[in-house]
Amino acid sequence: MSVASHLRIRVTEYDRKIHTFIPYYREMLSVAAGALQPRLTSPLIVDLGTGTGALAKLYLEAVPAGRLIGLDTDSEMLAVAAQRLRATQRPGVELKKKSFTRGALPRANYITAAFSLHHIKTRGLKVRLYQRCMEALHADGAMVSVDCMPPSHPDLHASTMQAWIRHLEGHYSSRDANDHLSAWAKEDRYFPLDQEVEMLRSVGFKVEIVWRRESFAVLRATKPRHP
Ligand SMILES: C[S@@+](CC[C@H](N)C(=O)[O-])C[C@H]1O[C@@H](n2cnc3c(N)ncnc32)[C@H](O)[C@@H]1O
């Protein structure tokens, strides 16, 4: 499904609207960019579901000699990303129309993903993706993931979802806010944070929770130098 029909917006509105849909969006992206802390001067970063390139641009700013490959299946989103990243005039930036769930991932020092992995619906497929990320990363490389990863306890889960609705109600009518969240919940799968950590550890990553608030989190999963 295209991003436009999933979010019920035009792609040209994405950058203006995404922070109305997702609380702390800009804060999380900037935390994710800061979480790379590269040791190499010219690391290769692969951004899964790069969308309009918001996070990719922050990475390029945070890592001045970094190279980047952005993968996405949505041509319209990639067209916006191409325009945004062209403006940075950085060499070593490549955008590819490709699914991150199919075929080998490019060898990388860092793999990043913001609000794209909730499109993976089953635990089996997600663990398989994390395994492929582990295989694609060089030793000491890391994956940074930003997404909705709610608490697993039902009471906390309910209160954090209420907080998300209140955020939406700051921008939309109560009915639209509830409609948005229930439409996304049908199409997306938000694994609880503890399950995300467990899935990443199950394939050998060392996981740090870099940032967490309500239903949202930024994780850094490092591939150990010596497994
Ligand atoms: C909500 S957008 C997030 C975009 C961007 N990372 C951001 O933070 O604004 C999710 C993106 O993931 C892409 N996507 C979803 N499933 C994908 C897949 N299997 N392979 C590649 N891209 C995918 C969508 O096309 C979309 O551009």
Closest CA to 178 of 160, 159, 156, 161: 161
| Whether residue 2 has its Cβ less than 6 Å from ligand 1 | no
- Among protein residues, the one with the nearest Cα to ligand 1's atom 10 is 116
Which pLDDT score is estimated for 54?
Answer: 94
Q: Is 112 in the pocket of ligand 1 (CB under 6 A)?
A: no
Homologous superfamily of 3-150+189-222 in CATH? Vaccinia Virus protein VP39 (3.40.50.150)
Give the pair of three-digit tokens for residue 204.
Answer: 């050998």
Residue 166 Cα, ligand 1 centroid: separation in angstroms? 25
Mean pLDDT by 10 residues, the chain (227 residues): 75 91 97 88 94 95 93 96 92 96 94 97 97 95 97 96 96 93 90 98 98 98 87
How many other β-carbons are positioned within 10 Å of the β-carbon of residue 153? 11
pLDDT in the model for residue 5? 75
Which atom in ligand 1 lies closest to the alpha carbon of residue 101? 19
Please say whether the beta carbons of 144 and 56 come within 8 A.
no
Taking alpha carbons only, the member of 23, 91, 92, 25 closest to residue 52 is 25
- Bridge pairing between strands 93-97 and 108-114: unpaired
The whole-number pLDDT of residue 79 equals 96
Q: What is the pTM of this model?
A: 0.95
Q: What residues contact residue 94 under an 8 Å CB cut-off, 6+ apart? A: 68, 69, 70
What region, left, alpha or beta, does residue 95 occupy, with left being phi > 0 and alpha being psi -120 to 50 degrees?
beta
* 54-62 vs 25-34: helix crossing angle, rounded to 10: 40
Which of 8, 119, 128, 129 to probe ligand 1 with, by most ligand atoms within 8 A of CB? 119
